[in-house]
Amino acid sequence: MFIAPYEVQDQKLKRRLRGYNRASVETLLQSVVSSYEHVWRERDQLRARVDQLEKELAPLREAEDQLRDVLVTAERAASEVRAQAALDAEALLEQASEKSKAQENAASELRAQAALDAEALLEQAREKGKAQQSSVKAQQTRLKNEIERLKAVEQELQGNLRLFVRSAQELLEDRKATTPSPVAPLSPSTHKTPDPNELRPASA
């Protein structure tokens, strides 16, 4: 059973004859409450940290989606530029074939250069996209690892708290079990002094 610190503090212990020392029991309960409150606050802080990290992770996920869209758009634009450059080069080649071999050579060089420019543009877009994507993934991995670590710390604290409360309960039960039972005094009605005449032997 998991109870809040104030519930432990509000517990009222019954008094019994020859029971536990009330001051010692109240001191023990106060120590349990103080430790419990410390762990309770630390658990709340960990939960707040996990929520904060989740909020920080959300924009990174959005940035990754946007980066993926930018990379796809860049690849599409590079393909269109390359296709258009090829068409332009083919048109220039046809015109050059009608005029002179020099113009044909110029058209070939233009086509090659256009292809190189398109490949360079595509490569730049890919490298930039990969670099940004790697940075986003690295930051995501770090935040995920931090969240997992904080969750593990929270579970460990809860386990330690349960062990602490269980140990305190067992200590109280052990003290209760080892307390000697009170011996009831003999009442005057059950203890009768023998009459000396009754102890004297009968005469012959």
In the chain, the amino acid numbered 103 is: Q
Please name the residues in contact with 54: beta carbons below 8 A apart, sequence gap of 6 or more.
147
Mean pLDDT value across residues 131-151: 87
Round to whole Å and give the CA distance between 45 and 42: 5
pLDDT at position 45 is 92
Mean pLDDT value across residues 104-124: 84
What tokens were used for 92? 């220039």
Mean pLDDT value across residues 7-14: 60
Would you kindly state where each structural domain of the chain is located, as residue ranges?
5-178
Reply yes or no on whether the pLDDT at 191 is more than 50: no
Q: Grade residue 180 by pLDDT with cuts at 50, 70 and 90.
A: low
- Residues 85, 88, 94, 96: is their CA dihedral positive or negative? negative
Q: What are 157-171's pLDDT values in tens digits? A: 888 888 888 888 888
Q: What are 37-80's pLDDT values in tens digits? A: 888 888 889 999 999 998 888 888 888 888 888 888 988 888 88
Per DSSP (E only), the strands in the chain are none
CATH code for the part of the protein at 5-178: 1.20.1270.60
Please give the share of the chain, as a percent, with pLDDT higher than 90.
Answer: 4
The gap between the terminal CA atoms of the chain, to the nearest Å, is 81
SS3 190: coil
pLDDT at position 204 is 39
Please choose, from the candidates 85, 118, 111, the residue with its C-alpha nearest in 3D space to the C-alpha of residue 96. 111
